[in-house]
């Protein structure tokens, strides 16, 4: 119930195309859904995030679509560029225990390759 399932595992997109990565969760207590971008040799960097009371959030070329009833959310990268080639992780946060502190549960990751 704590899992976040991410697909696809890998994705190849032509430059200028749309990259779409999907995630699904079970635990309705999750209250924060970020996406992270990770380049080789680097730690994950926060890309964009959404709360469950919002159905869509857009920041530049990156959009999160959130479907609360289906317990699914997705990342759309518009006009994909070779510089977007990286591994993308969805995640979900749940407040737990007496510390009331969020912990991130990560999806399995998607390796995106954008071809020039």
Partner 1 sequence: SAVISQKPSRDICQRGTSLTIQCQVDSQVTMMFWYRQQPGQSLTLIATANQGSEATYESGFVIDKFPISRPNLTFSTLTVSNMSPEDSSIYLCSVEYLGPYGYTFGSGTRLTVV
Interface contacts to partner 1, rule CB under 8 A:
32, 34, 36, 41-46, 49, 89, 93, 95, 97, 99-109
Using an 8 Å Cβ cutoff, are 80 and 15 in contact?
A: yes
Looking at the Cβ atoms of 17 and 87, the one nearer to partner 1 is: 87
Give the distance from CA 100 to its chain's centroid.
Answer: 23
Looking at the Cβ atoms of 27 and 108, the one nearer to partner 1 is: 108
Q: How far is the CB of 100 from partner 1 (least distance, A)?
A: 8
Looking at the Cβ atoms of 20 and 104, the one nearer to partner 1 is: 104
Q: Record the tokens describing residue 114, joined without a space.
A: 């954008």
Backbone angles phi, psi at 59, to 5 degrees: -140, 100
């Amino acid at each position: 119930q704590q899992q976040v399932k991410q697909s696809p595992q890998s994705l190849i997109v032509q430059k200028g195309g749309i990259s779409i990565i999907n995630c699904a969760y079970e635990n309705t207590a999750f209250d924060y859904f970020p996406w992270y971008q990770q380049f080789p040799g680097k730690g994950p960097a926060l890309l964009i995030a959404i709360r469950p009371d919002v159905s869509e959030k857009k920041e530049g070329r990156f959009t999160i679509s959130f479907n609360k009833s289906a317990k699914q959310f997705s990342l759309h990268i518009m006009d994909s560029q070779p510089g977007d080639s990286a591994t993308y992780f969805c995640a979900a946060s749940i407040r737990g225990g007496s510390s009331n502190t969020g912990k991130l549960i990560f999806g399995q990751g998607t390796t995106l390759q954008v071809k020039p």
